[in-house]
């Protein structure tokens, strides 16, 4: 497994592989790898000649009062995991190499970046779109892999790829969950024991809402109300940032159900901010 | 000479050439080609296996009250010229193909986009950066060619390429001038006869300022004052938008001369807005 730190060298390496006719699958990460990430690598391994991982805790996607400094980092452990699952190249740039002094260029996906998490994390998706664009230009992947847990991020990257004619196919993989349903996330490491137990309520609520939708017996406002009430029962949730049902393409909150419906939640608990979602298709 | 209209087909064509080891030189234009453009194609022809021209009057770089509708268009004449100078591929997309409904993604180069022309044309350089980024993703050029007449545009594209790790080399070519010094521009077609004659004062002023700088006998505020006074003598200049001496990298107006100095002018005359610049190196 090659470990590359310099963007230009990573780019030249990718070009060499492409020139030889190899396909490149790329999984961008912020490290602290869990089984959610590993499922992406597994899929990338099946579909490409060369698998590239990036580990980069991207400062431009954190707000000034967010958890950039304490975001979990475990480079040694990550590299060991990537070696085990036969990743070919780990791209591990320094912050200064990605954002030199006087960095000025940003990408922005309008509308989609303002909704849901965007409303609570101003600038977050601008930072995400910018870093993913940079990583794609450096690594030149045929396919790029994201997890559905970050559904809004997936939608924004997909839109960026489409709008900017980027020659990379986006693959969205299912959310991987703990036994009690909690979506895997590097930020779960912030949870104290009681918080960890309480967090299972997020997925439990998503499933309950899904059942209510599928039963086709309840009006949508009633379902939304029940959804909120379920979450409010957990006193450890210090803030319910959003919890409702949204259009899967525009992220507008729905006033009536569609064919596909995004049920999404963001809550704060202890030092963590957790998000999760499921998509419910109805006939 | 191939004429391609569909972005995906242009992209596949470029990929085929790259896979065969060919180099691609790209000159993006808005058409109404003049000798300034042709000098870029000549340079591209010398330096690349395949030369691609694009002709696309990009709506996102025009303000609501600007000249998008009446911008000179001469597709037939342009294609004839491109054929004569041995361009290989003309990319001629429709507006809807470049900006489908619900297009949402934009690029922005902070600071540089706000100065000089940016102050008078809000959104202009956002549109420029976005369309050039798209064109680069579609055409995948090894080298891209711009004229120094649009110096601020050159600086912004160069910054975008650098910041976003775009694997394309930018080549800035000298401004091509009419016999009386007027910088060639598609917008010169707007000028009535008297306006055309008066417009020569722009370059004359640049040269006079250059001489003043090089003589090393005048303080900078005095030179700036003389520069403005020269331009004010022409009653056909209905607005002098800017006329001064700037840092060649940051575009800040200078209070003392540097090694390299950008002398730049934007004036309105008749239906036209004309810009020009020269860079003066002093020891």
Spatial separation of the C-alpha atoms in residues A144 and A32, rounded to whole Å = 19
Q: Are strands B89-91 and B50-55 parallel, antiparallel or unpaired?
A: parallel
Reported pTM? 0.98
Ordered by start, the domain boundaries in chain A are: 2-173, 186-278
Domain A2-173 has CATH 3.40.228.10: no
A105 in contact with B, Cβ within 8 Å: yes
3-state secondary structure chain A: CEEECCHHHHHHHHHHHHHCCCCEEEEEECCCCCHHHHHHHHHHHHHCCEEEEEECCCHHHCCCCCCCCCCCCCHHHHHHHHHHCCCCEEECCCHHHHCCCCCCEEEEECCCCCCCHHHHCCCHHHHHHHHHHHHHHHHCCCEEEEEHHHHHHHHHHHHHHHHCCCCCEEEEECCCECCCCCECCHHHHHCCHHHHHHCHHHHHHHHHHHHHHHHCCCCHHHHHHHHHHHHHCCCCEEEEEEEEEEECCCCCECCCCCCEEEEEEEEEECCEEEEEEEEEECC
Contact across the interface for A159 and B110, Cβ inside 8 Å:
no
Binned at pLDDT 50, 70 and 90, residue A283 comes out as confident
Does residue B240 sit in helix, strand or coil? strand
CA distance B181 to B185: 12
- Told to judge if B124 belongs to the known catalytic residues of this protein, a careful annotator would answer no
Contact check, Cβ <8 Å, B164/A105: yes
The predicted structure's pLDDT at residue A186: 97
Same fold, A2-173 and A186-278: no
- pLDDT for res B271: 95
Task: Render pLDDT for A130-174 as a digit per residue (tens, 0 to 9).
Answer: 999 999 999 999 999 999 999 999 999 999 999 999 999 999 999
Furthest C-alpha separation in chain B? 59
Asked whether A28 and A41 are in contact (CB, 8 A), the reply is no
- pLDDT over threshold 90, residue A256: yes
d(CA A109, CA A206): 27
Could you state, in chain order, the average pLDDT of each consecutive group of 10 residues for chain B (283 residues)? Answer: 98 97 98 98 98 98 96 97 98 98 98 98 98 98 98 98 98 98 98 98 98 95 98 98 98 97 98 98 90
d(CA B258, CA B260): 5
Write out the H or E segment, with its range, that includes residue B87. none
Cβ–Cβ below 8 Å for A166 and B137: yes
Is the minimum CB–CB distance between B164 and chain A shorter than 8 Å? yes
A110 and B105 within 8 Å at the Cβ level: the answer is yes
Structure tokens at B37: 């453009």
DSSP string for residues in B35-86: HHHHHHHHHHHHH-SEEEEEE---GGGS-TTSSTTTS---HHHHHHHHHHTT
Q: Does domain A186-278 match CATH 1.10.300.10?
A: no
Contact of A54 with A30, CB cutoff 8 Å: no
Q: What is the pLDDT of residues A82-121, one digit of tens each?
A: 999 999 999 999 999 999 999 999 999 999 999 999 999 9
Assess: ipTM above 0.95.
yes
* A5 interfaces chain B, CB cutoff of 8 Å: no
Tell how far CA A119 is from the center of its chain.
16
Q: Which residue in the set A105, A112, A165 is minimally distant from B160, CB to CB? A: A105
Q: Please, which residues have CB within 8 angstroms of residue B132's CB and are 6 or more apart in sequence?
A: B28, B144, B157, B160
**Phi (first) and psi of residue B207, to 5 degrees:** -70, -40
- What pairs with residue B243 in β-bridges? B265
**Structural tokens at position A172:** 């969205």
φ and ψ at residue B99, rounded to 5 degrees: -125, 80
- b/e per residue, A258-269, with b = 16+ CB within 10 A? eeebbbbbbbeb
**Using the beta-carbon criterion (under 8 Å), do B7 and A165 form an inter-chain contact?**
yes
pLDDT for the residue numbered B283:
81
List the catalytic residue out of B17, B34, B37, B142: B37
* Contact criterion met (CB < 8 Å) for A112 and B104: yes
**CB atoms < 10 A from the CB of B122, how many?**
11
- Angle at the Cα of B25 from the Cα atoms of B22 and B31, rounded to 5 degrees: 140
Which residue out of B163, B166, B249, B251 would a mutagenesis test of the A interface target, given it has the greatest number of A Cβ atoms within 10 Å? Answer: B163
Q: Which of A37, A124, A142, A218 is catalytic?
A: A37
| Encoded tokens for B98 | 């470049």
Sheet of A237-247: strand order equals A237-247, A260-269, A272-281
A133 contact B CB<8A: yes
Question: To the nearest whole angstrom, how far is the Cα of B93 from the nearest Cα of chain A?
Answer: 13
Distances (CA, A) of A238 to A213, A263, B70, B158: 27, 20, 58, 47
Q: What proportion of chain A, given as a percentage, has pLDDT over 70?
A: 100
Q: Tell me: domain B186-281, CATH 3.40.470.10, correct?
A: no
**Rounded (10°) angle between helices B124-139 and B151-163:** 60
Cα angle B10, B13, B17 (rounded to 5 degrees) comes to 140
Interchain contact B2–A (C-beta under 8 A): no
Q: Do B163 and A103 touch (CB under 8 A)?
A: yes
Size of interface A-B (CB pairs under 8 A): 75
- Angstrom distance (rounded) from CA B195 to CA B119: 25
């Amino acid at each position: 497994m090659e470990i590359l730190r310099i963007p230009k060298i990573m780019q030249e390496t990718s070009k060499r592989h492409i020139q030889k006719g190899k396909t490149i699958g790329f999984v961008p990460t912020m490290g602290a790898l869990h089984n959610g990430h590993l499922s992406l690598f597994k899929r990338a391994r099946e579909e490409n000649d060369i698998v590239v991982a990036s580990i980069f805790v991207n400062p431009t996607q954190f707000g000034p009062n967010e958890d950039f400094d304490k975001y979990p980092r475990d480079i040694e452990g990550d590299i060991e995991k990537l070696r085990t699952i036969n990743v070919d190249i780990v791209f591990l740039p320094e912050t200064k190499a990605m954002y030199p002094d006087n960095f000025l260029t940003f990408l922005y996906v309008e509308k989609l970046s303002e909704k849901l998490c965007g409303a609570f994390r101003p600038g977050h998706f601008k930072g995400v779109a910018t870093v993913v664009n940079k990583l794609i230009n450096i690594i030149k992947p045929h396919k790029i892999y994201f997890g559905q847990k970050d559904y809004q991020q997936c939608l924004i990257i997909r839109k960026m790829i489409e709008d900017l004619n980027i020659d990379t196919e986006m693959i969205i993989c299912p959310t991987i969950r703990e036994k009690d349903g909690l979506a895997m996330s590097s930020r779960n490491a912030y949870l104290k024991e009681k918080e960890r137990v309480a967090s299972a309520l997020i997925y439990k609520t998503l499933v309950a809402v899904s059942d209510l939708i599928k039963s086709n017996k309840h009006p949508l406002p009633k379902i939304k109300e029940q959804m909120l009430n379920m979450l409010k029962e957990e006193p450890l949730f210090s803030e319910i940032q959003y919890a409702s049902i949204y259009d899967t393409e525009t992220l507008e909150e729905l006033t009536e159900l569609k064919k596909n419906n995004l049920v999404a939640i963001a809550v704060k608990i202890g030092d963590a901010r957790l998000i999760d979602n499921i998509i419910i298709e109805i006939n």
